[in-house]
Structure formats: structure tokens, C-alpha cells
A and B are shown apart, each in its own frame.
Chain A
């Protein structure tokens, strides 16, 4: 039992085991606060271990133990810690560079996206403006419809005027009938004159020689009556022809007045259907265009939100930079403290010197702690990326 204890005392196995455990922990877990804690714990373990071994050496082994293996072990621990911290620092630096590049590229990509969205929006606006400003199918249909109404109006006006003419012709036909009636009267007069002349000539013949002159006058009157009859017949036939011509004219004007409006009506129906279709399709197009504009606007706002969010790179860089500084300082502290602890563990020195060294290690750690405290009190890091404020550090 004594032999085992002395072995532990002389070989500093507790310190070595603690160092190995600390190394393992520092490799597996990387919070910033771990390293100083580990260093302090290790220092304490080593001090206790060294003191105990010194006491043991005094009591059990009065001769000085060869300190070389301890020194070597401590040297290993220090170099392992320092190397590891150095690696961590370099990796952090590398990560920082990668992050910066990636964020820059993302920013560029989103800027391009934003520009293209803007361009798309302006092109769409142009299309809509052209559609609203130019002659649309709707205009065309409306004008055609107006034209058709004008055309139908003209036909109806023409019918009205034709009817007016027809009514005038009817009036004239009535006048003609009146002329016919009068002619019949004239005929009667001529016949009566003729009869009168006949009677006169009979009376003249009965009078004998003295009535001869009267007979001549009666003959002339008969001639006049017969001429009058002939004129009457001529006038009658002329009036008859005029009536026939007027009847013909009436038929022609009537044809002009009677126009079929069904063609115009069906054309109007077609135009109305076309108008309805065009209006509906216009409305649909406008709705889609509005939707696209809305989507584009949303896209633009999404892109700007994303670009704003890329500020996280700034914050992250600050954090990583700070962690890197801590690691570098830890590297120095580790180097310094392990060197002192090595001296404490391996050199044969009196109690006063021992106390001084221990003091120095503690003081060094205190300085480091103070630095850490000051840094955490320093300019506050932005902890969120809200609301579009761009803060630059």
C-alpha cells in the first residue's frame, strides 16, 4: 500500500490524469469560458499534487527525485494546449473568411434578384399602360356599334321620307281622281251641246230656206262638241297614264321604304356578344396583371428583408472575432501559467519562493479574468437583427 502511495506521489499521476481529462474536455467542448476554468483547475491540481509529492519526498524519500519526467509531461500538456488553442484560432479565422465570402455572394445574388424584379415590374407596367392607352378591341367594337346604329338610323330616316313621298303621291292621286270627275262633267256638257246642235239643225230644216244659215251654225256647234269630246278623251288618257306612272312611283318608293332590319339586328347582336367577351377577357387580364404586380411587390419586399437579414454576418463576425481574441489570450495565459506551475512542481525551492510563484500565477489569472470582465462590459453586441436598422461596429 505504501509502495503504491509513494508511486503516486512521485509520479504525479493525479496531475497527469487531470491534465489528460482537461485536454479531452477542451477538445470535445468549446465554450469560451471553459479554457480559463480548466487552466485554473489544472493549476490547483498540480500545486496540490506537487506539494503533496514534495512532502512525501521529504518524508519518504529524502533524496531529490529526478524532475525530468514531470517537466516533460508538463511540457507536453502545455504544448498540446497551446497547439490546440492555435488550431482553434486558425479554424475560427478560416470560418470567418468563409462566412464573409458566402455572405458577400448571397448579398450580390439578392441584389441582382431585386434589380430583376424591379425590371420585371416596370416592363409589366409598360404592358398595362400600352393596353390602357392604345386602341382596344373594346373601342373598336363600340365604334362599330355606333356606326351600325347610325346606319340603322339612316335607313329609318329614309323610310320616313319615302313614306312622306308616298303619302304625297296618294294626295296627288286623289287630285287626279278629281280631275277625272271634272272631265266626265265636261264630257256630259259636250254631249248635251251635241244634242242641242242636233235639235237646232232639225229646227233649221223645218224652217226651210230661211233657216239655212242657222243650220250651218248648228253644224259648226256639233263639230265643236265632237272636237271637245276628242280633247276630253286625250286629256283622259294622259291623266290615266300619269296615274299609272304615279302608281309605279309609289311602288318604287314603297320598296325603298321597306328595308329589312334583321341583318342590322343580328350584326348588332354579334357586336354585343363580342363586347361582352372582350370586357370579360379584359377584366380577367387586368386581374392577372394586378396579381402579378402584387406578387412582384411581395418578392421585392422579401428580397429586401433577406438582404437586411444578411447583416447577421456583421454580428457573427464581431462575436467570432471576440472569441478569437479570447483564444489568443488563453494561449498566452496557458503558456505563462504552465511554465510557472512547472517551476513550482519541479524545482526545489523554499516555501517563500513557492508562495511567490503561486501568487504570480493567481495574479496572472486575475488579470485575465479582469480583461474578460471588461470585455463583456464593453460595447454591447447587437443581439437581434430586427427592423431594418443597419448598425455598423
Chain B
């Protein structure tokens, strides 16, 4: 599985460690990990530390997660993104929708 999911039950925080390619091939895993469960965590952490390539479907998935987590009330942090990914996220205006670390 190219996504590692870790749920901290104390803080109700769902952490997703994504694999090297965060793209369409991952959509089903992503869905199963956080969208399809029907359960909402209080907060989410998306760890992009290992990701080297990311396309628009990855951003689409993140937007769907945001909708799933309650849109403006969602608390989603994107961490460990390398500079070029950070640039992509910024061009897409994600720094207004997510917390970029």
C-alpha cells in the first residue's frame, strides 16, 4: 500500500504518509484511507515527505478530503513538502485552504 495511515485516537488525528508518486494511481487507496470510511477525524496531517511527483489529481484528492472534513471547518495540515511541491500548492492557492508547513 502506497499510503500509510496512522490514527492517533487521543487527539483524533489522522496522519497520511504518502508514497513517492502522489497521483491518480493512488486514488483508490486515498479513498479507502480517509474518504470512504464515513468517519471524520478531528484533524488531518498529510505528510508529503516522500512524495517526488504530484499531479492535479493529487490536488483534487486533497480538495475532496477538505470537503469531507467539513470544508472551512476542516483542520488539515500539509507537512514536509519539498520546494517544488510547495510551489505547486501555492500556485493552486492551497495556502489559503490548508495549513502549509
Contact = CB atoms under 8 A, between A and B. Distances in A.
Given A163-B60, A254-B57, A156 B92 contact: yes
A159 B59 contact: yes
Interface residues of B, number: 22
Contact of B60 (A156, A264, A268, A269): A156
Given A167-B31, A258-B23, A156 B59 contact: yes
Interface string A258-293: 111110110011000000000000000000000000
Contacts of B28: 170
A258 B87 contact: no
Interface string B11-44: 0000000000001100110010001100000000
A160 interface: yes
A166 interface: yes
B60 to A, nearest CB: 3
B91 A163 contact: no
Contact of A156 (B56, B84, B87): B56
A334 interface: no
Contacts of A259: 55-57
Contact of B55 (A153, A164, A170, A261): A261
A327 to B, nearest CB: 91
- What band does the interface of chain A fall in when counting residues whose beta carbon is under 8 Å from B? 20 to 34
A265 B84 contact: yes
Contacts of A262: 88
Contacts of A160: 59-61, 63-64
B31 A257 contact: no
B27 A163 contact: yes
Contact of B87 (A157, A167, A269): A269
B51 to A, nearest CB: 13
A163 B84 contact: no
B91 A264 contact: yes
Interface of B: 23-24, 27-28, 31, 35-36, 54-57, 59-61, 63-64, 84, 87-88, 91-93
22 contacts: A148-B91, A149-B93, A156-B59, A156-B63, A157-B60, A158-B60, A159-B56, A159-B57, A161-B60, A164-B64, A166-B27, A167-B31, A257-B56, A257-B57, A257-B60, A258-B24, A258-B55, A258-B56, A258-B57, A259-B57, A268-B87, A268-B91
